[in-house]
């Protein structure tokens, strides 16, 4: 940590685009050093997920939260969930088999009291030269395969991530090198069960009406509903969905009820997410979806949620399985508002061995960010 602009504290960080998301990366060492030099929890040791949650009042303002206008004008966030992620720790693991570990924060737009317990598939690609990633949020391993290139460095050479390539991701204007992410044994990322209730389909009651849902926890918890019961179509745009405030309120009520059924915190807006699924609209798709994130319609589909959906399509009895076109090789093409996402999964006798998705990534900048030490009430880690 250093000081700039007078005595304002600052810390080194990197901004990366991963998949269709952008996020800020800060090292554990930089965070710990800043805490030692500041009056904000100077004795706090960053040795667990709970200790990182105590940093929310400091880290959330970096992205511009809280902001009741939802613009995040006073920070680096972009006002939507895929543009306001902060990976609060990148550092070496103690286990030789693992090279890096990380924790993701996704600040709420209007509050700054919590660190989210999710890691998006998009930003998992943004850790150069990493082979195995240990996700401290879920205690799972992510295997990343990517291109590297030898670059001159001082009087020798360095092998670094090569972002240039011919892999074109839907939702992005330019191609890049393919980054293949394989989540190993991804079932039960937050609930310890692939099907938290033990059922492929459950019925929940919201405002006196019953809804069929599939509660699935693979790489990131998801709640899947048949979108046709809400008079929706897979061609509906995120803008059109956001304009239907009654529908969005109903979907979030269903999400909250499903969250409780999964044994998760119903007050957490980020986990799980709810997804409306539809039969494929094209012969090249296996299923279509409209995802919601942080109570807003997503402009594509979060990477981990795409992997969850791809695997759920291959679990008998789930709503995605009933609506999807069948596959024989484990690959699922998902239609979403920005194009398609292709996932693959290996499922043996009901056990999900891995799920996989490909993304691209590019480093956008490296420099100093200036945390804001505002007078927020700190939520003590429990």
DSSP letters, 201-228, are SEEEEETTEEEEEEEEEESEEEEEEEGG
Give the number of other CB atoms < 10 A from CB of residue 45.
Answer: 9
Query: How many residues in total does the chain contain?
Result: 382
How much is the pLDDT for 24? Answer: 83
* H-only helix segments in 118-272: 238-243, 245-261
Q: What is the pLDDT of residues 200-243, one digit of tens each?
A: 999 999 999 999 999 999 999 999 999 999 999 999 999 999 99
- pLDDT-based confidence at residue 4 (cuts at 50, 70, 90): very low
Q: What is the pLDDT of residues 63-88, one digit of tens each?
A: 777 666 667 777 777 655 554 455 65
The owner of tokens 């920070």 is 75
Q: What is the DSSP letter of 325?
A: P
Structure tokens at 17: 């685009």
Distance between CA atoms of residues 7 and 10, nearest Å? 9
Which stretch, 39-53, 89-103, 252-266, has highest mean pLDDT? 252-266
How much is the pLDDT for 378? Answer: 43
Please give the domain boundaries of the chain with CATH numbers for all domains: 2-178+362-369 (3.10.310.10), 202-358 (3.10.310.10)
How much is the pLDDT for 149? Answer: 83
Angle, alpha carbons 290-184-117 (nearest 5°): 60
How much is the pLDDT for 111? Answer: 42
Structure tokens at 317: 């009895």
Q: What is the DSSP letter of 167?
A: B
**Beta strand segments in the chain, E:** 2-4, 8-18, 21-25, 85-91, 100-105, 132-135, 140-145, 148-153, 156-161, 179-184, 202-206, 209-218, 220-226, 273-278, 287-293, 296-297, 331-336, 339-348, 351-359, 361-369
Which of 164, 117, 121, 160 shows the shortest CA–CA distance to 139?
117
Strand, helix or coil at 311? helix
- Dmax over Cα atoms in the chain, in whole Å? 71
Q: What is the pLDDT of residues 318-356, one digit of tens each?
A: 999 999 999 989 999 999 999 999 999 999 988 999 999
Stated pTM of the model: 0.77
Structure tokens at 263: 């044994």
Residue 298 scores a pLDDT above 70: yes
- Decide which of 180 and 89 is more confident: 180
How much is the pLDDT for 161? Answer: 86
How much is the pLDDT for 225? Answer: 99
Q: What is the DSSP letter of 164?
A: -
Strand, helix or coil at 68? coil
Residue 277 scores a pLDDT above 50: yes
């Amino acid at each position: 940590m250093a000081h700039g602009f007078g005595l304002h504290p600052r810390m080194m960080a990197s901004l990366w685009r991963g998949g269709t998301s952008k996020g800020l990366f800060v090292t554990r060492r930089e965070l710990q050093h800043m805490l030692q030099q500041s009056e904000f929890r100077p004795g706090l040791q960053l040795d667990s997920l709970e200790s990182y949650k105590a940093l929310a009042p400091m880290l959330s303002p970096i992205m511009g939260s809280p902001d009741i206008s939802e613009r995040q004008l006073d920070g680096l966030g972009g006002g939507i969930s895929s543009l306001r992620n902060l990976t609060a720790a990148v550092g070496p693991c103690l286990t030789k088999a693992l090279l890096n570990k990380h924790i993701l924060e996704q600040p709420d737009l209007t509050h700054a009291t919590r660190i989210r317990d999710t890691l998006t598939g998009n930003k998992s690609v943004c850790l150069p030269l990493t082979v195995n990633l240990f996700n401290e949020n879920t205690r799972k391993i992510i295997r990343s395969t990517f291109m590297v290139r030898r670059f001159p460095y001082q009087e020798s050479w360095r092998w670094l991530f090569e972002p240039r390539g011919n892999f074109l991701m839907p939702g992005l204007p330019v191609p890049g090198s393919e980054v293949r992410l394989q989540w190993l044994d991804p079932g039960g990322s937050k609930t310890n069960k692939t099907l938290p209730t033990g059922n492929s389909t459950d019925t929940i009651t919201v405002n006196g009406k019953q809804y069929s849902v599939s509660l699935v926890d693979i790489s990131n918890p998801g709640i899947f509903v048949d979108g046709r019961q809400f008079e929706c179509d897979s061609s509906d745009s995120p803008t059109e969905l956001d304009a239907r405030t009654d529908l969005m309120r109903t979907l979030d009520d269903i999400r909250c009820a499903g969250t409780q059924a999964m044994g998760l915190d119903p007050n957490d807006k980020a986990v799980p997410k709810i997804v409306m699924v539809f039969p494929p609209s094209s012969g090249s798709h296996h299923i279509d979806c409209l995802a919601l994130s942080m109570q807003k319609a997503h402009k594509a589909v979060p990477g981990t949620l795409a992997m969850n959906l791809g695997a759920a399509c291959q679990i008998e009895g789930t709503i995605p399985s009933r609506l999807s076109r069948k596959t024989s090789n484990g690959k699922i093409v998902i239609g979403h508002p920005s194009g398609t996402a292709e996932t693959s999964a290996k499922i043996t006798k009901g056990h999900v061995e891995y799920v996989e998705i490909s993304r691209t990534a590019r480093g956008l900048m490296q420099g100093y960010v200036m945390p804001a030490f505002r007078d927020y009430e700190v939520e003590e880690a429990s």
